[in-house]
Amino acid sequence: DAKTTQPNSMESNEEEPVHLPCNHSTISGTDYIHWYRQLPSQGPEYVIHGLTSNVNNRMASLAIAEDRKSSTLILHRATLRDAAVYYCILTTDSWGKLQFGAGTQVVVTP
């Protein structure tokens, strides 16, 4: 599977938007882009996924670059509960084989 690159950490103030970048320059045409997050002392939690088009759900938005070599997860109004490690993952054949990297630690300040 292609690799992803994310910043180690990001800080945000509560109720402000958070833009989490992910670079995946070696992405293949069949790779889906997934985002999971892991709150302290919990298992990872699905956030969103996409292939080519931008996606929105109740948790976040996913903006995918036209060349698909990068994407951005957008948390529209950060809350303290959004403080977590966010993982950007590419998968092709099976979504049950997730290759996690180190992720981005998001810190939300009141």
Partner 1 sequence: DAGVTQSPTHLIKTRGQHVTLRCSPISGHKSVSWYQQVLGQGPQFIFQYYEKEERGRGNFPDRFSARQFPNYSSELNVNALLLGDSALYLCASSLDNTEAFFGQGTRLTVV
Residues 37-66 touching partner 1, rule: CB under 8 A, are: 42-46, 49
- Give 76 or 100: the residue with its C-beta nearer to partner 1: 100
The answer to whether 107 touches 83, Cβ cutoff 8 Å, is: yes
The answer to whether 101 touches 38, Cβ cutoff 8 Å, is: no
- Give 67 or 94: the residue with its C-beta nearer to partner 1: 94
Interface residue with partner 1, options 58, 66, 67, 96 (CB under 8 A): 96
R_g of the chain computed on alpha carbons: 13
With vertex at residue 73, the alpha carbon angle to CA 54 and CA 21, rounded to the nearest 5 degrees, is 115
Q: Supply the minimum distance, in Å, between the C-beta of residue 20 and partner 1.
A: 15
Q: Which residues bind partner 1 (CB under 8 A)?
A: 34, 36, 42-46, 49, 85, 87, 94-103
